[in-house]
Amino acid sequence: MPMKNNHDDFDGFTIKIFLDEGGDYLAHFIELPNVSAFGPTPAQALIELKTAWELMKECYQEDNVPIPKASARELNDLEFNVPVDPQLYQRLSDEAAKAGMSLYALVAQKLAETTRLNTR
Protein backbone atom coordinates (compact mmCIF):
# COMPACT_ATOMS: atom_id res chain seq x y z
CA MET A 1 0.00 0.00 0.00
CA PRO A 2 1.54 3.37 -0.96
CA MET A 3 2.47 5.73 1.82
CA LYS A 4 0.15 8.73 1.88
CA ASN A 5 1.97 12.03 2.29
CA ASN A 6 -0.13 14.90 3.46
CA HIS A 7 0.22 18.30 5.02
CA ASP A 8 -0.18 16.86 8.54
CA ASP A 9 2.89 14.64 8.11
CA PHE A 10 4.95 17.82 8.02
CA ASP A 11 3.16 19.80 10.75
CA GLY A 12 1.98 22.48 8.35
CA PHE A 13 5.38 23.43 6.91
CA THR A 14 5.60 24.31 3.23
CA ILE A 15 7.57 21.79 1.17
CA LYS A 16 9.59 22.48 -1.94
CA ILE A 17 10.72 19.64 -4.21
CA PHE A 18 13.15 20.09 -7.07
CA LEU A 19 15.52 18.08 -9.24
CA ASP A 20 19.14 18.79 -8.32
CA GLU A 21 22.16 18.78 -10.62
CA GLY A 22 22.99 15.19 -9.67
CA GLY A 23 19.63 13.88 -10.86
CA ASP A 24 18.10 13.34 -7.42
CA TYR A 25 15.04 15.09 -6.05
CA LEU A 26 15.54 17.32 -3.03
CA ALA A 27 12.62 17.99 -0.70
CA HIS A 28 12.92 20.59 2.04
CA PHE A 29 10.86 22.85 4.26
CA ILE A 30 10.82 26.40 2.92
CA GLU A 31 10.57 27.75 6.46
CA LEU A 32 13.35 25.44 7.77
CA PRO A 33 15.76 24.83 4.86
CA ASN A 34 18.05 22.69 7.03
CA VAL A 35 15.30 20.04 7.17
CA SER A 36 15.79 18.29 3.84
CA ALA A 37 16.09 14.91 2.18
CA PHE A 38 16.96 13.38 -1.19
CA GLY A 39 15.34 10.64 -3.21
CA PRO A 40 15.37 9.21 -6.74
CA THR A 41 11.71 10.27 -7.17
CA PRO A 42 9.62 13.09 -5.70
CA ALA A 43 7.61 10.52 -3.73
CA GLN A 44 10.74 8.95 -2.25
CA ALA A 45 12.14 12.39 -1.38
CA LEU A 46 8.92 13.09 0.56
CA ILE A 47 9.18 9.77 2.39
CA GLU A 48 12.78 10.58 3.32
CA LEU A 49 11.78 14.11 4.37
CA LYS A 50 9.14 12.70 6.70
CA THR A 51 11.79 10.47 8.30
CA ALA A 52 14.23 13.39 8.60
CA TRP A 53 11.57 15.58 10.20
CA GLU A 54 10.67 12.88 12.74
CA LEU A 55 14.36 12.53 13.65
CA MET A 56 14.76 16.32 13.93
CA LYS A 57 11.79 16.49 16.30
CA GLU A 58 13.35 13.74 18.44
CA CYS A 59 16.59 15.76 18.62
CA TYR A 60 14.70 18.89 19.66
CA GLN A 61 12.95 16.92 22.41
CA GLU A 62 16.18 15.29 23.64
CA ASP A 63 17.83 18.73 23.83
CA ASN A 64 14.76 20.25 25.56
CA VAL A 65 14.40 22.72 22.69
CA PRO A 66 10.90 23.68 21.53
CA ILE A 67 9.95 22.12 18.21
CA PRO A 68 9.49 24.89 15.61
CA LYS A 69 5.92 25.54 14.55
CA ALA A 70 4.78 26.46 11.05
CA SER A 71 3.41 29.96 10.84
CA ALA A 72 -0.36 30.17 10.69
CA ARG A 73 -1.67 31.10 7.27
CA GLU A 74 -5.06 31.81 5.86
CA LEU A 75 -6.38 28.71 4.11
CA ASN A 76 -7.42 30.89 1.16
CA ASP A 77 -3.75 31.75 0.62
CA LEU A 78 -2.86 28.09 0.17
CA GLU A 79 -5.32 26.65 -2.28
CA PHE A 80 -7.55 27.38 -5.20
CA ASN A 81 -10.00 25.32 -7.21
CA VAL A 82 -9.62 24.68 -10.92
CA PRO A 83 -12.29 22.75 -12.84
CA VAL A 84 -10.75 20.02 -15.00
CA ASP A 85 -12.02 17.40 -17.41
CA PRO A 86 -13.04 14.18 -15.59
CA GLN A 87 -10.55 12.11 -17.61
CA LEU A 88 -7.70 14.45 -16.69
CA TYR A 89 -8.76 14.31 -13.06
CA GLN A 90 -8.70 10.50 -13.16
CA ARG A 91 -5.26 10.37 -14.82
CA LEU A 92 -3.83 12.81 -12.25
CA SER A 93 -5.45 10.88 -9.38
CA ASP A 94 -3.95 7.62 -10.65
CA GLU A 95 -0.51 9.20 -11.04
CA ALA A 96 -0.67 10.66 -7.53
CA ALA A 97 -1.71 7.31 -6.04
CA LYS A 98 1.13 5.48 -7.81
CA ALA A 99 3.61 8.09 -6.52
CA GLY A 100 2.21 7.88 -2.98
CA MET A 101 1.36 11.58 -3.06
CA SER A 102 -1.81 13.53 -2.54
CA LEU A 103 -3.48 14.84 -5.67
CA TYR A 104 -2.90 18.38 -4.37
CA ALA A 105 0.85 17.77 -3.92
CA LEU A 106 1.19 16.26 -7.41
CA VAL A 107 -0.65 19.12 -9.12
CA ALA A 108 1.27 21.74 -7.11
CA GLN A 109 4.55 20.06 -8.12
CA LYS A 110 3.55 19.99 -11.79
CA LEU A 111 2.54 23.66 -11.70
CA ALA A 112 5.82 24.60 -10.04
CA GLU A 113 7.85 22.66 -12.63
CA THR A 114 5.91 24.23 -15.52
CA THR A 115 6.30 27.71 -14.08
CA ARG A 116 10.03 27.19 -13.53
CA LEU A 117 10.44 25.95 -17.13
CA ASN A 118 8.58 28.93 -18.55
CA THR A 119 10.66 31.49 -16.64
CA ARG A 120 14.06 30.36 -17.87
SS3 19: strand
Tell me the C-alpha distance between 12 and 72, whole Å. Answer: 8
In a domain, 2, yes or no: no
pLDDT above 70 covers a percentage of the chain that reads 81
In a domain, 1, yes or no: no
Taking only the tens place, the pLDDT of each residue in 65-102 is 998 888 765 444 555 667 778 898 889 888 888 887 77
114 Ramachandran zone, left/alpha/beta (phi>0; psi -120 to 50): alpha
Structural domain range at position 112: 7-118
Average pLDDT, integer, range 40-47: 91
pLDDT value at 17 more than 80: yes
Query: How many Cα atoms are found within 13 Å in the side-chain-facing hemisphere of 39?
Result: 18
Task: Please say whether the beta carbons of 92 and 102 come within 8 A.
Answer: no
What pLDDT sits at residue 38? Answer: 93
Tell me the C-alpha distance between 39 and 100, whole Å. Answer: 13
The total number of structural domains in the chain stands at: 1
